[in-house]
A and B are shown apart, each in its own frame.
Chain A
Amino acid sequence: AQSVAQPEDQVNVAEGNPLTVKCTYSVSGNPYLFWYVQYPNRGLQFLLKYITGDNLVKGSYGFEAEFNKSQTSFHLKKPSALVSDSALYFCAAPRGTYGGSQGNLIFGKGTKLSVKP
């Protein structure tokens, strides 16, 4: 069965420092991986996705993610954190491998990112 895991419930970073939010995956077939962010009382916003090709994916708001097949990881990164980056971050993958639909996403449990001034 497809699964994604986020090993950290919370990540604390000082403003201006680099941040990493971790995600590992277990999928069969080609991995398609996504990162979403959720601000308080809001829905999820798409940040970036990995489909194929370059292992470093660039996304919205200065975020990027590094796909590592050997470590089955897809960590979210940002070189310099902002206080406004404080939010809940979700890693996700489609439940289907072929013939399945995008709508059927499985999510990690989420990582709360806290950026302090």
Chain B
Amino acid sequence: KAGVTQTPRYLIKTRGQQVTLSCSPISGHRSVSWYQQTPGQGLQFLFEYFSETQRNKGNFPGRFSGRQFSNSRSEMNVSTLELGDSALYLCASSRSTGLVNEQFFGPGTRLTVL
């Protein structure tokens, strides 16, 4: 069974630009979550989607947005990039939104903002 895939793996952008990251969950998984990982803040939850609906959102500005498609694939978008947006962005999928379902993570997209 293929794992969670994320594209691209690496991105370099400049301040003010926007970026779109893509995530394909494990087949059959309907829940997709996004996390930002930085050395200073650690792992922080961005948002979660289930059946094309945003179920939860973390404490991030409106520049961060996402969506989920009918095939459960998800994208996240960051507009007006800032230097502080440089991070590893991780996508995770799980079968459903139950509290006891473990999440499966992709390899991440490393975003560097210059």
List, in ascending order, chain A residues with CB within 8 A of B48's CB: 101, 103-104
Are A43 and B56 within 8 A (Cβ)? Answer: no
Per-residue interface assignment for chain B, residues 70 to 113, with 1 indicating a CB less than 8 Å from any chain A CB and 0 otherwise? 00000000000000000000101010111111111111100000
Taking a contact as CB atoms closer than 8 A, the residue among A32, A42, A101 that contacts B56 in the complex is A101
Question: Is B64's beta carbon under 8 Å from chain A?
Answer: no
Tell me whether A117 is interfacial, beta carbon within 8 Å.
Answer: no
- Complexed CA–CA distance, A43 and B35 (Å): 11
Interface residue B4 (Cβ < 8 Å from any Cβ of A): yes
Q: Classify chain B: how many residues form its interface, as a range.
A: 20 to 34
Over the window 23-60 of chain B, the binary record of Cβ atoms lying under 8 Å from chain A Cβ atoms (1 yes, 0 no) is: 00000000111010000001101001010000110100
Q: A102-B31, A109-B42 given as contacts; is B99 within 8 A of A43 (CB)?
A: no
Cα distance, A76 to B73, chains bound together (Å): 33
- Does the CB pair A100–B99 fall under 8 Å? yes
A33 to nearest B CB, angstroms?
A: 10
Q: Please, could you name 5 A-B residue pairs with CB atoms under 8 Å apart, sorted by A?
A: A34-B102, A45-B105, A49-B100, A103-B94, A104-B33
14 additional contacts, CB 8 Å, given A34-B102, A44-B90? A32-B100, A43-B105, A44-B92, A44-B105, A51-B100, A95-B45, A101-B99, A102-B98, A103-B45, A103-B92, A103-B94, A104-B56, A106-B45, A109-B42
Interface residues of A (CB under 8 A from B): 32, 34, 36, 41-46, 49, 51, 90, 94-97, 100-110
Q: What is B's interface to A at a CB cutoff of 8 Å?
A: 4, 6, 31-33, 35, 42-43, 45, 48, 50, 55-56, 58, 90, 92, 94, 96-108
